[in-house]
C-alpha cells in the first residue's frame, strides 16, 4: 500500500490547500455496498481527486473497498517543491515522466496553422452554399454557409476560427474591422475535399436602448444575407484554445449555447461522420453534448445530431430548451440547470485525465456552469475553482464565449 503520509507529511504546509489524484486499482464495493462511483479505465484503474485534508480518510476508505493506491500525484503543474523524501512509488512515477495528474505523456503536437491570411491581404472566397438553420416558429435568424477555398492556401483544424471583413466603412469612414467566427466544418470541409470552410452565423438584431430603433449587426447581417457566388474576405485561421485533443480515446464534454455549437459540429463530424477520411483518427472516447437553445425550432443541425446519437453508443446529447422545458424550481430550463442535473456524473468523468471540457457560446454562461459543478466538487470536499484552474493548466478546460 502506498504511504501517503510519508510522502506528504502534515508538517508540509505548502500542500495544505492542494488537491491530489490517487490512481487506484482493484476497487470493489465494501460490505455495506458502498463503492467509489468512478469510471474504471481499460487498465482497470480509476482516478480519485482528494483534498489534502482528507488524504488519510480516503486512503482508509479505498482500503476498505479492497483497492490499492498505485500512485499519488498533486493536481496542477505549479506544485511547490517537496520537502519530504518522496516514497519509492512516487519516484517511479516521476521516472516514467507522467504528468502530475496521471495524464499520459503528450504525443508530439501536430502543427496548427495560424494567420495564413491577414487583414491587409485577406483571402477572397466565394460563398458556395447558404441555408437556414432555424425552423419555422424559431427565434431569430441563423444560417449555415460555406466558402470555397480552392484558390488559395487557407487550411485549418477543428476548433479554430476565421476572420471575416465586412465590406464598407464604419461611422468614422474607416474600413470595417474583421469579426471572428468559429469554424463549423472539419479540416476536410463539408465537401470532404479540403477546399471549403463553413460557418454557423446568427444575425445580430436588437432594439437600440436609446432610440428604440431596430439595429442589425454589420458583419452578421452581411453574412446572413449572402447569396451563392458572392465574394467574402477571409483572414486567419486563428485560435488554439478550442483544439480537439489528438488522442482518439479522449472523453469530450461539450457545452454549447446557440451558435456555440459551431466548433462542436466540427468535432462531432470528425468523430462520427468522416471515418474514411481520417485513417489516423478513429474516435473511441465518450462524447457528451449539452446544447442550450430557446425553442425546439432553434436546435441547429438537429437532424444530423440526433441521427449521430442514434448510431453511436459513445455519443450522448442533452438539450436545455429554455422556453419549452422547466427546471426543477419551475423556471426556464437553461444550460446550467442541465449541467446541475448531471453534475455528479460530469464530475466523475472529469476525474479521468483523458476528459476535456469545452464551453462555447454566450458570454456569461460560465457562471452558472461553475455553480453547478462547485456543488458536485463540494461533495468530495474539493474546491471547484482550484480544480477548474488545474484542469485549465492541463489544457483540459476550454472556454470560448462571445
The CA dihedral of 189, 192, 194, 196, to the nearest 10 degrees, is -40
Closest listed residue to residue 384, CA positions, set 349, 357, 347, 348: 347
Beta-sheet pairing, 123-132 with 231-238: antiparallel
* Peptide bond between residue 31 and the one before it cis (omega within 30 degrees of 0): no
End-to-end CA distance of the chain: 49
Q: Does 234 bind ligand FAD (CB under 6 A)?
A: no
Nearer CB in complex with ligand FAD: 79/204: 204
Residues numbered 135-164 forming contacts with ligand FAD, rule: CB under 6 A? 161
* Residue 145: strand pairing partners: 130, 199
Contact yes or no for 29/66 (Cβ under 8 A)? no
Q: Cα 264 vs. chain centroid, distance in angstroms?
A: 8
> How many of the other CB atoms lie within 10 Å of CB of 17?
11
Question: Helices marked H in 55-129 — which ranges?
Answer: 55-64, 88-95
Report the residue number whose CB is nearest to ligand FAD. 217
Q: Does 262 bind ligand FAD (CB under 6 A)?
A: yes
Q: Does 130 bind ligand FAD (CB under 6 A)?
A: no
Q: How many residues bind ligand FAD (CB under 6 A)?
A: 20
Catalytic residues: 181-182, 360, 400, 402
Nearer CB in complex with ligand FAD: 27/200: 200
Nearer CB in complex with ligand FAD: 144/286: 144
Determine whether the annotation assigns residue 361 to a binding site: yes
Q: Does 26 bind ligand FAD (CB under 6 A)?
A: no
Contact with ligand FAD (CB under 6 A) among 218, 297, 309, 317: 218
Binding segment (CB under 6 A) for ligand FAD, from list 103-111, 144-152, 200-208, 384-392: 200-208
Binding segment (CB under 6 A) for ligand FAD, from list 71-79, 85-93, 201-209, 382-390: 201-209
Rounded to whole angstroms, the Cα distance separating 103 from 387 reads 15
Determine whether the annotation assigns residue 182 to a binding site: yes
Contact yes or no for 290/320 (Cβ under 8 A)? yes
Nearer CB in complex with ligand FAD: 200/287: 200
Determine whether the annotation assigns residue 322 to a binding site: yes
Rounded to whole angstroms, the Cα distance separating 348 from 346 reads 5
Mark residues 380-399: x for contact with ligand FAD by CB under 6 A, - for none: --------------------
Cell numbers linked to 91: 519516484
Cell numbers linked to 156: 485549418
Positions touching ligand FAD (CB under 6 A) are: 161, 179-182, 200-202, 204, 206, 209, 217-221, 259, 262, 400, 402
Query: Where is the binding site, in residues?
Result: 182, 202, 259, 322-323, 361-362, 400
Q: Which residues fall in the annotated binding site for NADP(+)?
A: 182, 202, 259, 322-323, 361-362, 400
Amino acid at each position: 500500500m502506498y504511504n501517503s503520509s510519508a510522502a506528504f507529511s502534515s508538517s508540509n504546509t505548502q500542500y495544505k490547500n492542494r488537491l491530489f489524484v490517487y490512481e487506484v486499482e482493484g476497487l470493489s464495493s465494501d460490505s455495506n455496498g458502498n463503492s467509489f462511483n468512478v469510471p474504471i479505465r481499460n487498465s482497470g484503474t480509476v482516478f480519485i481527486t482528494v483534498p489534502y485534508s482528507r488524504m488519510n480518510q480516503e486512503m482508509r476508505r479505498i482500503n476498505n473497498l479492497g483497492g490499492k493506491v498505485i500512485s499519488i500525484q498533486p493536481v496542477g503543474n505549479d506544485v511547490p517543491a517537496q520537502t519530504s523524501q518522496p516514497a519509492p512509488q512516487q519516484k517511479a512515477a516521476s521516472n516514467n515522466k507522467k504528468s502530475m495528474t496521471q495524464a499520459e505523456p503528450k504525443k508530439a503536437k501536430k502543427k496548427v496553422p495560424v494567420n495564413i491570411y491577414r487583414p491587409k491581404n485577406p483571402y477572397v472566397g466565394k460563398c458556395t452554399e447558404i441555408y437556414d438553420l432555424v425552423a419555422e416558429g424559431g427565434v431569430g435568424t441563423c444560417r449555415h454557409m460555406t466558402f470555397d477555398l480552392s484558390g488559395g492556401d487557407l487550411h485549418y483544424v477543428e476548433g479554430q476560427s476565421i476572420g471575416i471583413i465586412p465590406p464598407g466603412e464604419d461611422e468614422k469612414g474607416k474600413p470595417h474591422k474583421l469579426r471572428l467566427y468559429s469554424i463549423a466544418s472539419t479540416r476536410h470541409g463539408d465537401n470532404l475535399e479540403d477546399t471549403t470552410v463553413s460557418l454557423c452565423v446568427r444575425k445580430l438584431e436588437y432594439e437600440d436602448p436609446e432610440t428604440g430603433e431596430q439595429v442589425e449587426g454589420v458583419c452578421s447581417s452581411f453574412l446572413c444575407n449572402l447569396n451563392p457566388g458572392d465574394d467574402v474576405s477571409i483572414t486567419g485561421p486563428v485560435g488554439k484554445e478550442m483544439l480537439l485533443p489528438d488522442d482518439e480515446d479522449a472523453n469530450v464534454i461539450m457545452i454549447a449555447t446557440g451558435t456555440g455549437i459551431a466548433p462542436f459540429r466540427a468535432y462531432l463530424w470528425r468523430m462520427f461522420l468522416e471515418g474514411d477520411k481520417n485513417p489516423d483518427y478513429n474516435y473511441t472516447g465518450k462524447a457528451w453534448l449539452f446544447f442550450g437553445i430557446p425553442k425546439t425550432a432553434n436546435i441547429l443541425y438537429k437532424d444530423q445530431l440526433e441521427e449521430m446519437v442514434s448510431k453511436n453508443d459513445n455519443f450522448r446529447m442533452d438539450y436545455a430548451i429554455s422556453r419549452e422545458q422547466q427546471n426543477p424550481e419551475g423556471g426556464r430550463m437553461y444550460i446550467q440547470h442541465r449541467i446541475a442535473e448531471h453534475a455528479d456524473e460530469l464530475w466523475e468523468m472529469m476525474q479521468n485525465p483523458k476528459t476535456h471540457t469545452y464551453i462555447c457560446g454566450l458570454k456569461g454562461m460560465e457562471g452558472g456552469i461553475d455553480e453547478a459543478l462547485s456543488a458536485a466538487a463540494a461533495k468530495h470536499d474539493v474546491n471547484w475553482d482550484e480544480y477548474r484552474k488545474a484542469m485549465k493548466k492541463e489544457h483540459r478546460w476550454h472556454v470560448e464565449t462571445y
